[in-house]
Structure 1
């Protein structure tokens, strides 16, 4: 067991060096074992830093954050990469050889990276709780206790965030709350999604108690959890559960805090460089230590960008031109003007989403280009529009207020206000606005799932209403996960359908 802990800690500590400035630039201990670490403030800081690094690793595996949240949503009409085409087609059970360990479809079926992050959160909670208050930084006992609680709050947040992410992807997942290594998930059955989400709410509620609002002067703002990030996570959990009154209240906590503001249209694209005034929570990768090689094939940059950013004339993932034209009917909208360009291959034109073009060439080596865009998870426009959803789809509706919030976001993006949208049509208008605002930001698939639950109208070309009701939008798990755990079963819809 100690060897397993050592391996996980060593991996986490190594990954933790690839995150944000002072927060993750910790001096490594000479012998990274649980016996010699967790002794001082810096140890707790490094342990928490590893939680974020492991989440980033999970999201970057086969472009998971965007594959789960965007690729099957209709934002892309096709892919030149066959396995990503299967995601677009919702053919998630397509055959993959067990030896094809680099196959993106196989990696996307694996929940192991998320359990590795959860194991680190559990370890951080366990060991930080046991550390005496006196070892934490601060000039008084109260400050030292607040510092300790901040680290605990981040550990609770990261565990809640991982479980919410997994619940949206796989539905029922093993619920592991003990301090043990990532392989412990192999010994648990899948817990009902409702229980997983209840635990996530419990964890994030604890995080809210421990964390403060954003420190605007901190170089680590937005890339580590604070009270705003916790409320944003809580709002999304409640929206996924259909508890819109609670979702609305969590959104209000953020909006009324005064901690965030919408980016002006002139600097809209700065959102994707990271840590903007609008950002609530991001996964940091906007420095050379954090970024990824953009030329590696299974990266967001390699799939969505062409010259002059990277080599190539046509994006591998083909943006759905019809959807872009439908969503962005106002040509003055900065989300269209700045977020997309048109590229040609012969007589064929393609839209290219250029939100993630913060590419840096290293040492004048054209073969080494590093993508430096943070993964923007939650931002103010998202929360404003989520509140609009809560007001238009909840138990007590206020269509006028919901539409006003939509137009608040549109005004910030130089788009004309919507008018003449009445009654239940506001629900669709809100989802459309989220589609415009959050294109290729990991939200669209989940937004459409919530919309279909509300309206009972089909939202996915390759998922019939019957298949939707049977759970086709939840991912299967890789059959290799059954080899070490006889307690888990395949995702119900995909039983007998995964090759």
Structure 2
């Protein structure tokens, strides 16, 4: 998404902001003109671009992408912000005043932003399907059809991505596939997670059918979905389901495409600036029209960075120093050497993750700094290690190939090869390597959930095995959502535990 879409995004986000307290507010982006707007290629392009914009808004709300995926994983020991401390402690049902609309815990318990994005995907699917092929750009009927299919593929991808995201966070969620104004008033019950993921797989397979691979010369490479992004999403859905045969096949499609390459050790930090040769799918925010004010309290930059990047001497989210020391045992590992610095406050030292330091001052105004790091969702190292998980955790137990994939990633990071491992020890090694490779990239909590399912070993300090089996790692929904929908119920573990 480039700056020419800024006006469209602004309209979309205004609508999102004014409806954030409603359940499944699916008021179209342009209700009075929907029937007359979807007339040309540019209309479809803009409509699909809005899907990505709304996903970005959902992830940026209370730093959701990292709060859900990292904050409770053990990467952080504590937070100076009390509500984020509750996430670290897995105290997800802590009381929040209904009037505290800016409270991060309340926002994290609302799935409304994701359903707003789903609504836009539903809208795009419905209207683009109805558009005549002749109105799309191209010099032949085949080119025009390919153009139409590209937009449809992106819309199916974004819907699948949203539902996969929500399924990992809340488990069972309402499944809404139709595009109609009446859905604002209709009541939806939570659909079983299995049904939600089944639909996500249907959607992502349609995306695979409709989308092509993109070459490195594409200006919108990785910030808009292509066939590689769709296969990567399918691999993650299959891994979450425990379908490691399917996961392995989808990983192979990405790896064997020849489209992506591991970033060299010397350029490791370039991954987080966006659109590196390693990246498969990202949420774009590396331009001024897409970035966010780094000084606002509820941003990743404000919680994790200090001077010279932002004001302050101590990160608000405190990295667990012993956790990092245990995870990174090779001091030559570029992920440790370049990804962290040590800062001090008095006699206390703090580790600071500096992956997301692409901060730009606007018009030389030191009080206005914009964070311009893309949200890196899928990249090649992630998929290679996910394949290693599939091989080591699946019924065949191909531990040698799994270990070779781990060492392939380690070589690219200047880390020594792992040797002498066999059997189930390789499963743990895979998860550890993912922890090193994907620190603060939105994966760790979900990786540990999958690991505990496989090994039955407790992975979270604040979740006992009994609580894990009862579903404590799935988030509660905020009680405010019940006001507009009498059919939904609380997440099972959290019934009677949300104040």
TM-score, length-scaled by structure 1: 0.94
**How far has the Cα of 1:396 moved from its partner?**
1.2
**How far apart in 2 are the matches of 1:77 and 1:275?**
31
The separation in 2 between residues aligned to 1:358 and 1:430, in whole angstroms, is 29
Task: Look up the match of 1:269.
Answer: 269
Asked if residue 107 in structure 1 is aligned to residue 107 in structure 2, the reply is yes
Q: Could you say which residue in structure 1 is the equivalent of 2:19?
A: none
Would the aligned equivalents of 1:38 and 1:127 in 2 still touch at CA under 8 Å? yes
Secondary structure of residue in 2 paired with 1:405: helix
- Name the residue aligned to 1:90: 90
What's the counterpart of residue 246 of structure 1?
246
SS at the partner of 2:35?
A: coil
Please tell me whether the aligned partners of residues 124 and 155 of structure 1 are also in contact (alpha carbons under 8 angstroms): yes
Report Cα offsets for 1:92-116 as digits up to 9, x if no partner: 0000000000000000000000000
Aligned partner of 1:389 in structure 2 is 389
Aligned 8 A contact 1:304 1:315 in 2: yes
Q: CA RMSD in A?
A: 1.7
Q: Equivalent residues in 2 for 1:272-283 (5 A)? A: 272-283=272-283
**Distance (whole Å) between structure 1 residues aligned to residue 357 and residue 33 of structure 2:** 40
Partner of 1:201: 201
Deviations 1:17-50 (A, max 9, x none): xxxxxxxxxxxx9997113200000000000000
Structure 1 equivalent of residue 436 of structure 2: 436
Distance 2:146 2:441 in 1: 33
Give yes or no for the alignment of 1:351 onto 2:351. yes
- Structure 2 regions of 5+ residues with no counterpart? 1-7, 17-28
1:424 aligned residue: 424
1:469 has 2:469 as partner = yes
After TM superposition, list the pairs within 5 Å mapping 1:52-67 onto structure 2: 52-67=52-67
1:272-311 to 2 correspondences below 5 Å? 272-311=272-311
Q: Distance in 2 between matches of 1:288 and 1:10?
A: 13
Structure 2 contact 13–57 (Cα < 8 Å) conserved: no
Q: CA deviation at 1:422?
A: 1.4
Aligned pair in 2 of structure 1 residues 214, 354: CA closer, same or farther (>3 Å)?
same
Q: Secondary structure at the match of 2:36?
A: coil
Q: Distance in 2 between matches of 1:431 and 1:61?
A: 28
Describe the shift of the 1:82–1:263 C-alpha distance in structure 2 as closer, same or farther (beyond 3 A): same
SS at match of 1:369: strand
- Structure 1 runs of 4+ with >4 Å offset: 13-16, 29-32
Q: Does the 8 Å CA contact 1:174/1:189 hold for their aligned counterparts?
A: yes
Q: Residue 33 of structure 1: SS of its match in structure 2?
A: helix
Please give the per-residue CA displacement for 1:280-305, whole angstroms capped at 9, x wherever unaligned: 00000000110000000000000000
Question: SS at 2:180's partner residue?
Answer: coil
Alignment map for 1:128-147 (pairs within 5 Å): 128-147=128-147
Over residues 124-169 of structure 1, what are the superposed CA-to-partner deviations in whole Å (9 max), with x where a residue is unaligned? Answer: 0000000000000000000000000000000000000000000000
Gaps of 5+ in 1: 1-7, 17-28
Q: What's the secondary structure of 1:36's corresponding residue?
A: helix
Matches of 2:254 and 2:485 in 1, distance apart? Answer: 41
2:372 maps to which residue? Answer: 372
Q: Is the 8 Å Cα contact of residues 174 and 185 (structure 1) preserved in structure 2?
A: no
TM-score by structure 2 length?
0.94
Contact 1:119 1:181 in 2 (8 A): no
8 Å Cα contact 1:360/1:369 also seen in 2: yes
> Partner residue of 1:19?
none
Aligned length: 480
